[in-house]
Structure 1
């Protein structure tokens, strides 16, 4: 009788454990499932807007998940994330801000990696001029750069001016854009004769007849610190498998080729962020 009772108890316990295991598995699956009706919200540094639009479109076609982009300076996006903005993924124009978000518990540790290495260009919407010599000789009224406190490309522009020993000579002629996108628009509209912009912006502008008519100097990399741009998964999306899927897609051969076609440098081993 005791053996029968023990056997029944064991079968009952085993059954309960099985039910509990299935329940926990179902909960975990539900938490990681993707609701394709809810867009994936990605905060994107302004310099990366053109390639990101292509990548987002391709990702939507491959997965069926809608993507919503919020494009601004890295500093502005960083501040918005700190104040609770509902972003799932952050594509910064530097490594520092994603790392700080990880340290502050706002981004997932181990998810940070370098997706692009940016390059700086001095651009003018005027044809048949030499931007480098125009800058060195001071033959311009206004020079547009992104706010170095908000935009890594603005910081790189300041570093380039220091390297060229032109900081004081150009100081009174500088106009600041909130982002590298606004700095580009200052030049495109004629508000500034010259502007430090991203190489990728100049390449993207080449597809537009109204903007491709200009002159450009691609600065040597030794004039400024490497612009290593990192992506990171934000904590609010850590159970959203779609966000993780996008970060994997961003590291695919298709994405890497697209990014390089827009003029970003190749990602060497020592340029990678935390993996």
Structure 2
């Protein structure tokens, strides 16, 4: 029997980035908002109206115009905020819930996106930027950037329980582990733990503790890498200083 020829390789993607992503990278809006602008015929590339959000464009060569005005790359900004409980980490929420963007009011900012997420019930340090290279580097699992949390739990774990937590657990096919877990203090029926992660799976800490029947009462991120939350007031945001950017390796 004649041998079957090998399957043809898949062609690579054309150079450049998709148009909706280009508008986001340039700091104009989110990708979702960009798709709406494109669908409404408000975006031109090279003088022609484009309605295909997947069209590949070259940010260094193609002239992109929205509503008659050229889109110019915004300055790079880096913001830290102290997220309160009850806000969602998104700009456009279908359920119309309050978002972290309420914390940015009063700051003169281009469009910025969160670097990673904190769920609605969680609090603490959240970074936002329009520098996609910076964000991707911090979120890259290969970077193993540690994130430190203080977690109030509805029990007082003994050393044996702490060792069990440190060993990790498999939940829904995922292995959930922590870099370190230590008891900070306890009182009555609750305790505060310090938990350090070097990866960020969905609801990582809550699922890890729930697997052992431990209730999370509060969860606060207090540091990303060597950058601490410090004394930033809850619900407020400010620009990172050059020294703080250096702590993140920038």
By the TM > 0.5 criterion, same fold?
no
Q: Which has the higher contact order (CA 8 A, sep 6+)?
A: 1
More strand by share: 2
TM-score between both structures, scaled by the size of structure 2? 0.29
More helix by share: 1
**Larger Cα-atom Rg:** 1
